Amino acid sequence: MAAAASTAAAAEITAAAFAAAGFPKMPARTLLALVSSEQGSLTAAELSERLGASAAAVSGAVRYLQTVGFVHRVSQPGSRRDLYALHEDEWYVVSMRNSPIYEKLAALTDATAETLPEGSAARARVADMARFYRFLNARMPALLDDWERERAREATP
């Protein structure tokens, strides 16, 4: 029981760091509950119990995590309860490869820059932010390839 409490506390601290970095708090807590579960999947009731959260809060968090591609719903034969599970194929790599987030952020910051006075320091800062997001977008595929090679190297005895 002490190990489970220790894991839950560590997961909560990690989820708080995710939230501080801009990830929504309840989805962060839900993601960490799933990641730290032995099977990588839990029912909504199990998530609610682990997190001490309402069914509505868990439902919203799971919906968010499904939308961004971190988890999916798995039907359990003979049961009306679905499991919410991490993707088997390295969910974080799949989500980053399929996410146009940096491209969207670049476009949004470009649009913001266009609203600022030409030659202003504010416009230059916002335009630099857009360039940074385009840089991340361009480099992410190679970075993910490097990560996959690193994991394969670690898995090889």
Over residues 95-119, the pLDDT tens digits come to 676 667 788 889 999 999 999 999 9
User: Is residue 118 located within the same domain as residue 61?
Assistant: no
How far CA 41 is from CA of 32, 82, 103, 109, in Å, comes to 11, 10, 31, 37
Nearest-angstrom CA–CA distance, 27 and 19 = 9
| pLDDT on residue 110 | 93
Burial class from Cβ neighbours inside 10 Å (0-12, 13-18, 19+) for residue 15 reads buried
DSSP string, 20-59: HTTS-HHHHHHHHHHHTSTTSEEEHHHHHHHHT--HHHHH
Structural domains in the chain (count): 2
pLDDT at 90 exceeding the cut of 80:
no
Residue 50 lies in a domain: yes
Please indicate, yes or no, if residue 95 is contained in any of the structural domains: no
Residue 92 lies in a domain: no
Q: Do 72 and 8 belong together in one domain?
A: yes
Same domain, 57 and 119: no
The domain of 108 spans 100-155
For residues 83 and 28, membership in a common domain is answered with: yes
pLDDT in tens, 13-67: 888 888 887 889 999 899 989 988 888 899 999 999 999 999 999 999 999 998 8
Answering whether pTM is above 0.85, one says no
